[in-house]
Amino acid sequence: MPKDSLTITDNRTGQSYEVPIENGTIKAIDLRKIKTDEKDFGLMTYDPAYTNTASCKSRVTYIDGDAGILNYRGYPIEQLAEQGTFLDTAYLLLNGELPSQAQATEWTYDITHHTMVHENIKELLDGFRYDAHPMGMLMSTVAALSTFYPEAKDVRDKATRRTQILRLIAKIPTLAAFSYRHLMGLPYAYPDNDLGYCANFLQMMFRMARGYQPSPVLERALEVLFILHADHEQNCSTSAMRGVGSSEADPYSSTAAAIAALYGPLHGGANEMVLRMLKEIGSKDAIPAFIREVKTSGGEVRLMGFGHRVYKNYDPRAKIIKRMADQVFEVTGRNPLLDIALELERIALEDEYFVKRKLYPNVDFYSGLIYQAMGFPVDMFPVLFAIPRTAGWLAQWEEMLEDKDQKIARPRQVYLGAARRDYVPLASRG
Ligand code: ACO
C-alpha cells in the first residue's frame, strides 16, 4: 500500500525524516524538525510571491488553471453567468449554498435597505481634488466606514459580522458612484430602492435631471460582469484581505486594504491599462511592431490583459465576456478598439513567445472595452472590479476567521543583511 507521506533525507546529516502528505500538501512547519544540530532553527521553505504555497484551506472557489475551470462553491462560472444574478452569487459565496426563494427575497431586501451612506461621507469626498482617481476615493471612504460603525471591531461575533457584510455589499456601489460623481463635478445621486443592485448602481452613476432608465441589455451585462468578478480564490487582493483581517482589524479596514491591492496595474488595474495600451497601439497595422517591443523588452513591456499566475489556458471569464461584447455593442455601438483587441489576440495566440509561456487573454482583456462602451470612464474600471469582489473578499475573510488553523499572518524571512556591528556616531562617519 502506498503511504501518504514524504521521506526526506538531509544530505548534510544523513538523517531521514517522514512527513505526512494531506490534500496534496506537506505542512511547512513539519520541516522545522530538520536540523543540522540542536541550535539550528530548522528548515524553512523559501517561496517569494507564494507561487507554490497554500496559505489556507478553502471551500469557496475552485480554479483549475490548466483546464481553464472556475467554480464558485462547486457551481461552474458559465452556469452562474448564464442563469444567476449577482446577489444570488454573493449569497452563495458567503453562505455556501444558493438562497431559497424566501432567503433570496430577504437577502435582496436587506441589501437594498443598506445602500444609503452617512451624509458626512459626502463631505469627506468633497475634500478630494476635482480630478482624484475614484479608486483612491473608494478606498478612503470604505476605510472611513469603520469610524461610522465602531461595533464592526467585534469580528468574533457572527451577528455583528453579518451586519457589516450587508452594509459593505450594499454601500460599495453607492461609494463607487459618489466617487465618480465627484470626479465629474456632478451632484451625488442617492440610491433608489425600487431598482435592483445593478440598475441602482447605473442610475446613481448616470442619472441626470430627468431620471435614468438603464437598458436591460446593459443592466444584464453589468450583472454578468459582476458575477464573473465576484471571487477568484487567493489572489493578491484576497490575500491582502485575509492578511489584514488576520490581525482582527474590522472588515472596512481590511476591505480598504484589499482595494489597495486591487488598484495595482498587475491586478485590478490591468483593464485600465489594456484600454490605454489599445489606444496607444492605435491601429491594426501597428500591432506587429508592438508585439516585437513586448518580446524584446525583457518583460518590461507587457501585453496587458494577457497572462495569469494560475490560468495557463484561456481564462473562462474572458471567453464569456468576449461572447457578451457583441450584445452590448448592438446597444452601444461597436467600440472601435475591439478590432485592435481581436487582432492583437489572434497574433499573440499564434506567436511562439506567448504560446511557449502559456499566455492567454485574462478577464481584463475584453472587460474594459465593454465598460467603455457602456459609458464608464477608464478610471472607473478598477472600481467596477472592486464592487463585486467585495462579496468574495468578505466570504474569504469570514472563512479565515472561522478557521481554527488560522492565526495572525506572519511570514518568515531569510535574512541576508549585515551581521551584528557597532553603532558609529555621526561625527566619526567621515
Ligand atoms: N506580456 C508579455 N510577457 C508576459 C506577460 C505579458 N502580459 N505575462 C507574463 N509574461 C512573461 C514574463 O515576461 C515571463 O517571461 P520570461 O520567462 O521570459 O521571464 C513569463 O511570461 C512568466 O511571467 P511571470 O511574470 O513570471 O508570470 P506571473 O505569474 O508572475 O505573472 C501576471 C502573472 C502578473 C498576471 C502577468 O502575466 C502580467 O503581468 N500580465 C499583464 C497584467 C495583467 O493582465 N494582469 C491581470 C491579471 S488578472 C487579474 O488580476 C484580474
pLDDT tens, residue by residue, 274-288 = 999 999 999 999 999
Among 307, 399, 403, CA closest to 361: 307
Type of residue numbered 112: T
Task: List pLDDT tens digits, range 224-273.
Answer: 999 999 999 999 999 999 999 999 999 999 999 999 999 998 888 888 88
User: At how many degrees (to 10) do helices 270-281 and 337-350 cross?
Assistant: 100
DSSP state of 5: E
Atom of ligand 1 minimally distant from the CA of 365: 44
Set 154, 267, 351, 403: catalytic member: 267
Please say if 154 is a catalytic residue.
Answer: no
Count CA within 13 A, CB hemisphere, residue 422.
3
Set 232, 250, 308, 315: catalytic member: 308
Type of residue numbered 409: A
Among 274, 256, 380, 373, CA closest to 326: 373
If you compute the radius of gyration of the chain from its CA atoms, what whole number of angstroms results? Answer: 24
pLDDT on residue 251: 98
pLDDT on residue 23: 97
- Cα of 179 vs centre of ligand 1, distance in Å, is 30
Higher-confidence position of 103 and 214: 103
pLDDT on residue 67: 93
Confidence category of residue 129, pLDDT binned at 50, 70, 90: very high
Is 43:31 a contact under the CB 8 Å cutoff? Answer: yes
Type of residue numbered 55: S
Chain centre to alpha carbon of residue 183 = 23
The closest residue, in CA terms, to atom 31 on ligand 1 is 309
Ramachandran region, residue 43 (left: φ > 0; alpha: ψ -120 to 50; beta: rest): beta
Please say if 364 is a catalytic residue.
Answer: yes
The closest residue, in CA terms, to atom 35 on ligand 1 is 308
Beta bridge partners of 62: 71
Task: List pLDDT tens digits, range 359-371.
Answer: 999 988 999 999 9
The CB of 312 under 6 Å from ligand 1? The reply is no
pLDDT on residue 271: 87
The closest residue, in CA terms, to atom 37 on ligand 1 is 307
One DSSP character per residue, 102-142 reads HHHHHHHHHHHTT----THHHHHHHTS-TT--HHHHHHHHH
The CB of 303 under 6 Å from ligand 1? The reply is yes
Confidence category of residue 173, pLDDT binned at 50, 70, 90: very high
Residue 81 grid coordinates: 453567468
The CB of 357 under 6 Å from ligand 1? The reply is yes
The CB of 277 under 6 Å from ligand 1? The reply is no
> In percent, how much of the chain has pLDDT > 90?
92
